[in-house]
A and B are shown apart, each in its own frame.
Chain A
């Protein structure tokens, strides 16, 4: 992949706030990332780290009173964080496809799979009825649904969990979007089905040159699917880099701790490495580096100043230890 290729998605310095009775909670801050065509960016982190929030902010689906307080979101050559709701509606589905965690709730149980697909196709691509139906069938075929000519007239409840998630992927692909945001697409599925879905997603992304933002808490899924990984902690990116480097030579102490706490399949150990404590609440993020109370390598500077992402290893990480100076 050429470095010079224009990024499909470019997020610069994104900050999301939730004003509340007890002041403003900052859900995301200083989030900057980009995804190129045909690239899968995996976003990982613990629950509440802001990974889903990032996906929602890009699609402008933040629930009130949440708002984008700072930063820019660029989709290809268009800035989309300031668009009004009507313009944004034309982008969702047409240029950004979405895949959610639960395939049962993301399909309407009252309509056939075919009518949900043709609705999307006709709305976004302006095709006629017959043409749209033909496209729906070919989409179902692309996502590996057997006998799509018959399945297109069936209702979601007639599909199994794995097949439903394939339908949701077909829906996301319906208008050939430039970007797909997949939020925990395999979490509700069993392992053997999960492997089918992740390899399908990877295959389609490479074939159709779609950029994919894959949000998940499962490091295994990321390891097998993503090209690059972004690790989030307490609403910030702590590390971003190529998948093998982040997994095998993590730069940030949090990523190191996270990787070490996964039970290995290869060797058996008596005790797993654990990160003591838990992630801070968003309204009580400590001064300095948000990870400092749990970090084993903490120094005085970590408690005072907040580190930003700086190049380290093959990617970037936000840690004073890697910034060259002293912690």
Chain B
């Protein structure tokens, strides 16, 4: 796999990233109802590296901050603190990033023809000089993602969900990025169409040497796509490691819970005992380890002290008091 060759180099390094949202009531309400200011810690001290030409996936349940990380990486939000650094590509320039969004219905302008949607980044960044060259590039991009040249004349509503996601991918590729942030690119698609889009993304990775930051809640999709996986819980990374290692030996109790709860088609567990509890509100995160109220093996230390991220011999990084080196 491409990542194996390029394991030493990384495309993106993130250190101590923090993002807080101010979700206070309007000032008059605060004054009248004596409500304090309220802040939401969406992303809390996150560090990770994305291997060059590889794929790192962020997984977690809704509200764990994975989409916020995607938006921070692409600059759609600005971080409160922390460092983000893209490596430089073979041409010496910093890698450029693009994003593919979850909803292929909402992310394409319904009033624009597909060729104009794809041509917009090319025109905006002045990547081609003449109109003829732009048209040529648009046709090339349409063919790359498996659509035909004549599809450029159509409007988004004439396409199915999977085809629209292909258009989003063509648009993302238009600015010739080396780094793609994919925020749940197949969640809105049916499984048979999902397979088409995932295969396309894999082919493009090989063809153009792309690096992916992949965001999903679907563990089977994540396993298919990624070289490394980072598991997030309430704004923090609780475990990060090589895909095969993480599936074979999940170390953090939350990762274990996530892997247990995936419905298994090959070996359905119809009478399983499910773990109780739900994700706590991010407004009132629990003290100590954020997972301790749901953790089956929590101790007094877990509710008092936040576990530090430690790197194990296998290369897995894990934030849990109970994980011992073996």
Q: List A residues at the B interface (Cβ < 8 Å).
A: 46-47, 160-163, 190-196, 198-199, 202, 217-221, 223-225, 243, 247, 257-259, 261-266, 268-276, 278
Contacts and interface: CB of A to CB of B under 8 A. Distances in A.
Contacts of A198: 263
A190 B270 CA distance: 18
A113 B258 CA distance: 30
A278 B278 contact: no
Given A47-B161, A192-B275, A270 B265 contact: no
Contacts of B244: 268
B261 A191 contact: yes
A164 B82 CA distance: 37
B261 A274 contact: no
A218 B190 CA distance: 9
B221 interface: yes
Contact of B61 (A190, A221, A247): A190
Given A192-B275, A263-B224, A272 B195 contact: yes
Interface of B: 61-62, 160-163, 190-196, 198-199, 202, 217, 219-221, 223-224, 244, 247, 257-258, 260-266, 268-276, 278-279
Nearest to A163: B278
A261 B195 contact: yes
22 contacts: A47-B190, A191-B262, A194-B263, A196-B275, A199-B271, A199-B274, A217-B191, A218-B263, A223-B263, A223-B264, A224-B272, A225-B270, A258-B191, A262-B265, A263-B195, A265-B247, A265-B266, A271-B199, A272-B224, A274-B195, A274-B199, A276-B196
B263 A221 contact: yes
Contacts, number: 123
A163 B249 CA distance: 31
A183 B199 CA distance: 30
Contact of B272 (A46, A194, A195, A261): A195
Nearest to A278: B160
Contact of B220 (A195, A262, A270, A275): A262
Contact of A195 (B62, B247, B261): B261
B266 A160 contact: no
Given A190-B217, A269-B224, 20 more contacts: A46-B191, A47-B190, A162-B278, A192-B274, A195-B274, A219-B191, A223-B264, A224-B270, A225-B270, A262-B195, A262-B220, A262-B265, A263-B198, A263-B224, A271-B199, A272-B195, A274-B196, A275-B192, A275-B195, A278-B162
B160 A191 contact: no
A193 B258 CA distance: 10
A224 B220 contact: no
Nearest to B224: A263
B261 A261 contact: no
Contacts of A243: 268
A261 B195 CA distance: 6
